[in-house]
Structure 1
Amino acid sequence: MDERKRDSMIVYLRHRMDDFGISPDDLASFLATPSLGADTGRYRSAGGDTWSDEGAMPQWLKQATSAGQSIGHFELPGGTLAQPAKQTDADWKNDPFAGSPLAGSSHPRP
């Protein structure tokens, strides 16, 4: 990534953090805190459902794998579940990455 793109991404991320009320200290604190036992899992869906690979496979994962999705797609790094970001009423109309792969599938498109 060239320096101009990197700087643009930093500006974008700072703007989004402001929209969600996340400070750099909040982010550093979250990254430095290990996940607690209650928040562990091996797989997580886009909706936040988790499965620890113990017991019967949950319906959301059965459906996804039956549809051809790899189970590895849902696997969490290190088998730990990070807390999903809290959703707010952010204004996505001016999102410069809307419609691009950087926008992800969890954000509404303008």
Structure 2
Amino acid sequence: MGERKRDSIIAYLRHRMEEYGIEPDDLASAIAGNQTRQKPARYQNATGDNWTGDGEMPQWLKQAISAGQRLEHFEVASAPPVQESPRKTIDWRDDPFAGSPLARQHAD
């Protein structure tokens, strides 16, 4: 895009924003909101190109499939979130062997 065309588009957008009372912060927050709603990638190649699986298949994926690669090869591994199990707390006050030589022995 040429510098002149770019400046023209910026001027047009500024004029329209003034006309509708849109502040730059309003625009920034709307853009940020759209980015958080994007779906995660379902397919990705080694160079980082990705596709959510919605809409038309991207060219890089079409080319790979036509070259003999399987779609499943590009699936992003989605491991289930690891849930930490709550650790049991032990009340040693009721342990009859606490402090005795038996409690201090190590299993070999």
TM-score bucket (shorter structure): 0.3 to 0.5
**TM-score of the pair, normalised by structure 2:** 0.36
Which structure has the larger Rg over C-alpha atoms? 2
TM-score by length of 1: 0.36
